[in-house]
Amino acid sequence: MNIIVCIKQVPETTEVRINPETNTLMREGVKSIINPFDMYAIEEAIRLKERFGGKVTVVTMGPPQAESALREAISMGADEGYLVGDRAFAGSDTWATSYTLAGAIKKINQINVANNSLADSGKGHGIDLILCGKQASDGDTAQVGPGISTHLNIPQVTYVKKIEEVKEGMMRLERMLEEGYEIIETSLPALLTVVKEINEPRIPSLKGLMRAKSAKITALTQKELNLDPQQIGLCGSPTQVVKIFTPKPRAGGQILKGEIPDITKQLVDLIKDEVN
């Protein structure tokens, strides 16, 4: 099974500070980690590889320092890493990011086929599965995973809490709902986003860390990907951040006391006041 895992490097603190002038994240002085939800995606990919064989490729889009996130994933057991980065991609919103990552995944597939390291399965991608965390802990949009599947025109299943069964070209999954879960069957290749209930990510091994230290990370820039300039970076991003602010805490409610007819009257009066 050939699996791509899309990961994102995020600031470690949950208290992300926002630059009030540019409305962007202030990353200076904050340690970077792999988005915690992506750790479950990496772990699940490695477990599938251990069961069925194949290859796990990690991909991230970000600045050069995001390379350390790829190396960490390799130390856990992923086979190779691709760093998608270019000044032309700067300022991407979730639309442009998912478009770019979809382009990168197509490119990785071409590279794999060219290297003969993977036979093209004839399904257009040669890749059986793409895994993402359910969302990033900094942006919290949960849009990039589904966006990638849309750009690649493959099925998506979000909030996967368990892979129940894997068969030739098909998977049966448990998808988490607010109360309970639903069972979904999907054809492969597909894109899944996973929730933390799916597994417990492993601690890397020493040998894995040593391998990761010297592993080759392949850079993919706009030159290699040759994407539509209108759909990448800031100008390919329909989202415009007008303002970022912390919502005011909701004012406390009011508890009405007394006998039921009294309360009813008070309530009606309050509604009347509000309407007027």
Partner 1 sequence: MDYLLSDEQKMIKELAHKIAEEKIRPAAAKYDISEEYPWEVLKVMAESDMFGLFIPEEYGGCATSVFNLCLATEEFSRACGGIAVCYAASALGTFPIVLFGNDEQKKKYLPDLAKGKKVAAFAITEPEAGSDASGIKTVAKKEGNHYVLNGLKHFITNGGDAETYVVIAMTDKTKGARGASAFIVEKGTPGFTFGKKEDKFGIRASSTRELVFTDCKIPAENLLAKEGMGFIVTMRTFDMSRPGVAAQALGIAQGALELAVKYVHQRVQFGKAISSFQGIQWMLADMATEVEAARGLVYSTARMVDAGVKDVSKESAMAKMYASDVAMKVTVDALQLFGGYGYMKDYPIEKYVRDAKITQIYEGTNQVQRGIIALKLIKEMAK
Measured from the CB atom, is 119 or 210 closer to partner 1? 210
Work out whether the CA dihedral 58, 216, 152, 109 comes out positive or negative. negative
31 lines the binding site for partner 1 (CB under 8 A)? no
Q: Which is nearer to partner 1, 214 or 246 (CB)?
A: 214
Gap between the Cα atoms of 138 and 148, Å rounded = 19
CB of 204 to partner 1, least distance (A): 7
Near partner 1 by CB under 8 A: residue from 207, 216, 248, 257: 207
CB closer to partner 1 out of 43 and 93: 43
Position of tokens 């309530």?
A: 267
Q: Does 206 bind partner 1 (CB under 8 A)?
A: yes
Phi, psi torsion values for 2, nearest 5 degrees: -105, 120
Decide whether 172 or 196 has the Cβ nearer to partner 1: 196
Helix ranges restricted to H, 3-93: 36-52, 67-76
Q: Name the minimum Å distance from CB 48 to partner 1.
A: 18
The alpha carbon of 105 is separated from its chain's Cα centroid by a whole number of angstroms, namely: 14
Among 36, 202, 231, 266, binds partner 1 (CB under 8 A): 202
Asked if residues 4 and 130 have their Cβ atoms less than 8 Å apart, the reply is yes
Where do contacts with partner 1 occur on this chain (CB under 8 A)?
202-207, 209-210, 213
